[in-house]
């Protein structure tokens, strides 16, 4: 990623780094990573990010087998983003 002088990464640089398009899912993902909810992410947020990832994994792993299936991930995304259109992201 390409952080600015303060070490923060803005949404457009996040998209560029991961080769994503602007869409509801990428906005939701960035919002999830933006632990301080200030429109940017920084590696200083790593402990909060790790906690967020662990929580997200636990929510997706509905079978409790410590793995996330494609079906479980899709089900979780559809719950989190009601207007999710799978065709938009393929």
Instruction: Quote the number of domains for the chain.
Output: 1
Cα–Cα distance for residue pair 42/2, rounded to 1 Å: 11
35 lies in a domain? yes
52 lies in a domain? yes
Q: What is the domain range of residue 40?
A: 8-81
37 lies in a domain? yes
87 lies in a domain? no
Token code pair at residue 20: 């994503």
Token code pair at residue 44: 């200083």
CA-derived radius of gyration, the chain: 14
pLDDT band at 54 (very low <50, low <70, confident <90, very high): confident
39 lies in a domain? yes
Say whether pTM exceeds 0.75.
Answer: no
pLDDT tens-digit readout, 1-51: 667 778 889 999 988 888 888 988 889 888 888 888 999 988 776 666 677
Dihedral, CA of residue 29, residue 41, residue 4 and residue 10, to nearest 10 = 30
């Amino acid at each position: 990623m390409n952080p600015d002088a303060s070490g923060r990464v803005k949404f457009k640089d996040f998209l560029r780094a991961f080769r994503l398009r602007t869409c509801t899912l990428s906005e939701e993902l960035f919002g999830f990573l933006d632990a301080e909810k200030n429109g940017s992410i920084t590696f200083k947020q790593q402990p909060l990010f790790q906690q967020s990832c662990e929580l997200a994994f636990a929510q997706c792993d509905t079978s409790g087998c410590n793995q996330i299936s494609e079906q479980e991930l899709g089900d979780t995304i559809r719950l989190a983003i009601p207007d999710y259109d799978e065709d938009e992201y393929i």
